[in-house]
């Protein structure tokens, strides 16, 4: 069984949990996901199965769109409401100020990676430093906030400000960190209380299946050919097919980052530029 399965992840499951469940249902060990969602998060989880696991790297490097709920006036050690509260303050911010800051946050900037994350520093995951109460300098990464907007009314409860945002962000953006940065720009503290991924690349939540639907065989896989339909594609002759099957380096006559080679409409391989000699292309992912 090969293809891509779009899962609508429920709360309180890790992305690894979903992979394990699908592996058991479909009776295959060749299952991988293309972008981690925290247990608190719901929504689009793109799962690759069989030979389509070779697409994971390509599908990971896309923009993602989220809806998130923010509570201003609370700070936790994890950056979301599931963590331990480390600071509280009264925080009543008006809508005009929130909209001003959201507009100004639509930019490229260096975002600090949260301590509760799987990013490695000196060979150890950051959350291991956190759990051992060890100090570590948190890395920063350049992220793009492509769009950011208020999508709810502002609520005030117990001297806290609550509202929802929708945002389109680049690969590697932490929404928990974005929310803390928004709060900082509002001269307060804040945490994430809910998160839903509604899009990853061209994949939309309306096309995703629940675990119950998958367990009851009410789902459809997206083929490798369908996934790669917008990539530069070359239908090859039998002579070139043999070279591709043997993993040969070919002349670069295409001026493309990726070239999908097909025979009889079936994907043989994805090639990419050979860095040692950019007049050549080499196998990137093989499907034969």
The catalytic site residues sit at: 38
Q: Dig out the tokens for 55 from the structure.
A: 């697409």
Q: Comparing C-alpha atoms, which of 221, 211, 205 is closest to residue 51?
A: 221
Q: What is the rounded CA–CA span in Å between residue 255 and residue 226?
A: 22
Secondary structure letter of residue 194 according to DSSP = E
Q: With H, G, I as helix, E, B as strand and everything else as coil, classify residue 213.
A: helix
Q: Which residue has the tokens 């389509």?
A: 52
Q: Cβ(166)–Cβ(70) under 8 Å? A: no
SS3 content of the chain, % helix, strand, coil (to 5): 25, 40, 40
Q: Cβ(178)–Cβ(167) under 8 Å? A: yes
Q: Dig out the tokens for 125 from the structure.
A: 């995951």
Q: Work out the end-to-end distance of the chain between its first and last CA atoms, rounded to an integer number of angstroms.
A: 15
Secondary structure letter of residue 39 according to DSSP = T
Q: What is the rounded CA–CA span in Å between residue 270 and residue 232?
A: 10
Q: What is the rounded CA–CA span in Å between residue 242 and residue 248?
A: 9
Q: Cβ(193)–Cβ(70) under 8 Å? A: yes
Q: Cβ(221)–Cβ(1) under 8 Å? A: yes
Q: Dig out the tokens for 220 from the structure.
A: 């459809």
Q: What is the rounded CA–CA span in Å between residue 282 and residue 277?
A: 10
């Amino acid at each position: 069984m090969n293809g891509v399965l779009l899962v609508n992840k429920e709360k309180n499951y890790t992305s690894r949990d979903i992979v394990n469940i699908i592996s058991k249902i479909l009776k295959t060990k060749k299952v991988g996901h293309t972008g981690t969602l925290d247990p608190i998060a719901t929504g689009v989880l793109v799962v690759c199965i069989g030979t389509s696991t070779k697409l994971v790297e390509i599908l990971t490097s896309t923009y993602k769109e989220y809806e998130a709920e923010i509570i201003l006036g609370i700070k936790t050690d994890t950056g979301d409401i599931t963590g331990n509260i480390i600071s509280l303050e009264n925080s009543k911010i008006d809508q005009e100020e929130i909209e001003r800051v959201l507009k100004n946050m639509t930019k490229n900037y260096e975002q600090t990676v949260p301590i509760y994350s799987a990013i490695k520093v000196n060979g150890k995951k950051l959350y291991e430093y956190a759990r051992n109460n060890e100090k570590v300098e948190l890395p920063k990464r350049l992220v793009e906030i492509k769009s950011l907007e208020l999508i709810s009314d502002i609520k005030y409860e117990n001297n806290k400000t609550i509202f929802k945002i929708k945002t389109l962000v680049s690969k590697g953006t932490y929404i928990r960190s974005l929310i803390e940065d928004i709060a900082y720009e509002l001269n307060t503290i804040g945490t994430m209380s809910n998160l839903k991924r509604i899009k990853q690349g061209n994949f939309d939540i309306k096309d995703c299946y629940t675990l119950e639907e998958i367990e009851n065989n009410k789902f459809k896989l997206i083929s490798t050919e369908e996934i790669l339909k917008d990539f530069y594609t070359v239908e090859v002759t039998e002579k070139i097919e043999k070279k591709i099957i043997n993993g040969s380096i070919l002349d670069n006559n295409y001026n493309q980052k990726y070239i999908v080679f097909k025979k009889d409409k079936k994907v043989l391989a994805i090639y990419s530029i050979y860095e040692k000699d950019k007049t050549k292309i080499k196998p990137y992912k093989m499907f034969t």
